[in-house]
Structure 1
């Protein structure tokens, strides 16, 4: 397995994996598959996101196949510039339990530590996603809040758990 920062050449693979993620795990993302497939120029939007300053999307590859992704976005305003957020974490189901998620989160944490102005990373995880929650806890993230009914899919509600990791003590 190889993990690296995604480039413009990875935009189409990223978009395909994003659609898979939205279809397989709709409860894990605030975006929906139905909304995603209706977007205009989605690959061009991915290209723009991959080149946005302060946004870092890492991909895990098995040979040349993109099997997992995670995005770190540093806050841009002066008062929030010490924070970053993790978004869009996903690993293909057939590669789960093999350390791909841990490798992606480790890469993000190490990258965040290399940015002098960053002091903490925040993330949000659905409370029923035990595997992701345990991964984040094992990587040092601590819960700072729960939002009841954060997502509603059809008539089912999902709670969000908000977690943080301080990079500098």
Structure 2
């Protein structure tokens, strides 16, 4: 398994994996598959996002195939620059259970710790995703809040936990 920072040339692979994620786990993402496929020039948008300042999107590759991703996105405003967010965490179902998610997160956390201004990393996770919550807790994230009915997918509500990792602990 090869894990590296994605480049704008990886945008098509990222977009394909993103669409898979939205189909496979619609409850895990704010964006819906239907919204995603209606985007104009999505690959150009992904390429721009991947290469934007403060955006660190890591990908796990099995050969040439992108099988997992995670984004560390640093806040940009002066009062929030001490924070970053973990976004878009996903590993293809056939690759789960191989510690790919953990490896991706460890690299994102290592990157966060290397940024002098960062003091904490936040994320949200659907309360029903026990495997993800267990992984986040194993890596030091702590729950600090609950949003009831955070997402609504096909008339079913999903609650989300807010989690934080304090980097200087």
The bucket for the TM-score relative to the shorter chain is over 0.9
What is the TM-score when the length of structure 1 is the normalising length?
0.99
C-alpha displacement of 1:69 = 0.2
| Residue in structure 1 matched with residue 44 of structure 2 by the alignment | 44
Quote how far apart the aligned CAs of 1:94 are: 0.5
Q: Hey, what's the Cα distance between the residues in 2 that align with 1:6 and 1:110?
A: 16
Per the alignment, residue 110 of structure 1 pairs with 110
Q: How far has the Cα of 1:64 moved from its partner?
A: 1.3
Question: Deviating runs (4+, > 2 A) in structure 1?
Answer: none
Task: Report the 3-state secondary structure (helix = DSSP H, G, I; strand = E; otherwise coil) of the residue aligned with 1:79.
Answer: helix
Task: Name the SS of the counterpart of 2:23 in structure 1.
Answer: helix
Q: Count residues in correspondence.
A: 169
1:51 positional shift: 1.1
Shift of 1:154: 1.6
Structure 1 unmatched runs, 5+ = none
Distance in 2 between residues matched to 1:9 and 1:102, nearest whole Å: 25
**Distance (Å, rounded) in 2 between the aligned partners of 1:29 and 1:103:** 21
What is the match of residue 156 of structure 2? 156
Deviation string 1:106-160 (CA, Å, 9 cap, x unpaired) is 0000000010000000000000001101000000000000000000112100000
Deviation of 1:8 after TM superposition, in Å, equals 1.3
> Normalized against structure 2, the TM-score is what?
0.99
Other-structure match for 2:100: 100
Structure 2: stretches of 5+ with no match in the other structure? none
Q: Deviations over 1:83-113 (max 9, x none)?
A: 0000000000000010000000000000000
Alignment of 1:11-160 (within 5 A): 11-160=11-160
Q: Report the aligned-residue RMSD.
A: 0.5
In structure 1, C-alpha distance between the alignment counterparts of 2:159 and 2:119, rounded to whole Å? 27
Structure 1 residue 37, shift from structure 2 partner: 0.5
**1:76 CA displacement:** 0.3
SS in 2 for 1:124: strand
Distance 1:50 1:102 in 2: 21
